[in-house]
Structure 1
């Protein structure tokens, strides 16, 4: 397990558990579990994921907002949504004044929506997202590109896989943002 340190390359407050891939682990290499504070800037997480070769968020490069905001709204871009990598969401339930953790299946993710958008009378959000745990595969290629517009942007035919770093750069350029800061 790895937590943030100045030399680790991991952002402050993010916890990375890649122990399923330890040499002495008896199971085949599993995913990397990454827990991220809700207030973390979304694109910083995407940049970390791409740089760490954790595919699953690269098409969401440049999406504005915090991890909490993007996950709550289950924002989609080029056919990819954060719900594809979310394992669980830890919240503060304002109606019960208690912590509540939602497993992926309890989040009721849909296109542009989730259980986490529930509001209280008066319009205030019921759930404050404290942190989100993602489960990433490891690798440097995307899933097969299904979105025709994205395929054209990348100069490939639909169905091809491309390096996640190339996708991030292309998506950021398409959004009019710099690929590096």
Structure 2
């Protein structure tokens, strides 16, 4: 790749309100806002910003951010670079390179309409493609990790363009090396999809909604339509006519705890073992004494953050006295901005919910959104 001069579209804006770029509609002004129009302009812009030593902040779809009312006293780069490139195709697979600013749900809709399976259960998730591997987004039994082939990345440490494989990203539950602190910019994401008219259902709530069993095959378009309906019932689809949709979606991740902590919860608390690995066979020659087995690894269990919240006394629709932030009336995992709340009110409610769960169950809830200038926990 070669550098080119930025176009007029990257002319800086000053004091632009960041609330206009986030789905929860909070955030004060940006000292400088840049909107590179192409991938090459994004590369040039980032190298210039880093060379100047500016404080910098990236915003894509703005669906997973809470920005303070004071805004950001630095340079904000709004990533809206778009383009879908065919890398290779066979009778059974399709490999794509998708630029970071593409709409996530727009990409899923295109793939489903063409009969490509692998992302249909991730329908309706707001935000951009570039954010998907950072968070390793997942829902209804699918995760980005299962179809990801790597990313093109501009590394902050040396301003170099690099390709990171899926293994190098070290993807975990809503996590990656980028989220853990490897600084830089996702330029494009590579996916490999399967040519299939059907999707294998892997999540009980989705199976129930479809009227099938786990492991059954269902047309990919039917899976997408059902997931969109499920998300809409929880106000988890961006909709200007839905008062509860001004949010970050799920505000807290489902806690993963040692099994003994999960056992202390009431019997009706949902839980899922997440690392129940089989013990490997060991071959010992005749006449030799086998080495003692390693101590058993404590099993980890994923809990339902929504159940913990509701059973700690925070019900759907809850709001603190005088606050304009509220828990969604449709889903206790979402904090919504229905009546002009500011970032301080969103953060106050988030901390209150976390304190209630900690006090009742001794479990820390981890906020999902990126916090900029605010304390969410």
TM-score by length of 1: 0.79
Deviation at 1:104, TM superposition (A): 1.4
Larger relative contact order (C-alpha < 8 A, sep ≥ 6)?
1
Deviation at 1:18, TM superposition (A): 4.0
Deviation at 1:118, TM superposition (A): 3.5
Question: Secondary structure of 2:95's partner?
Answer: strand
Deviation at 1:160, TM superposition (A): 0.7
Match of 1:39 in 2: 101
Q: Does 2:142 match 1:142?
A: no
Match of 2:224 in 1: 168
Question: Secondary structure of 2:186's partner?
Answer: strand
Aligned with residue 124 of structure 2, among 51, 58, 62: 62
Q: Does 2:166 match 1:78?
A: no
- The CA RMSD measured in Å over matched residues stands at 1.6
In structure 2, how many angstroms separate the alpha carbons of the residues matched to 1:98 and 1:105? 20
* Change in CA separation of 1:111 and 1:80 when aligned onto 2, cut-off 3 Å: same
The number of equivalent residue pairs is 153
Match of 1:50 in 2: 112
Question: Secondary structure of 1:162's partner?
Answer: strand
What are the superposed Cα offsets for residues 128-165 of structure 1, whole Å, 9 maximum, x if unpaired? 1000010111111112x221111001111222110010
Q: How does 1:121-136 map to 2 (within 5 A)?
A: 126-136=183-193
**Which of the pair is proportionally richer in strand?**
2
User: What runs of 5+ residues in structure 1 fail to find an aligned partner?
Assistant: 1-11, 22-28, 120-124
Question: Which one has a bigger Cα radius of gyration?
Answer: 2
Question: Secondary structure of 1:101's partner?
Answer: strand
TM-score by length of 2: 0.39
In structure 1, how many angstroms separate the alpha carbons of the residues matched to 2:202 and 2:92? 25
Q: How does 1:88-103 map to 2 (within 5 A)?
A: 88-103=150-165
Match of 1:159 in 2: 215
User: What runs of 5+ residues in structure 2 fail to find an aligned partner?
Assistant: 1-81, 239-377
Question: Secondary structure of 1:114's partner?
Answer: coil
In structure 1, how many angstroms separate the alpha carbons of the residues matched to 2:104 and 2:119? 10
Q: How does 1:112-123 map to 2 (within 5 A)?
A: 112-119=174-181
Is the Cα–Cα contact under 8 Å of residues 34 and 134 in structure 1 kept in the other structure? yes
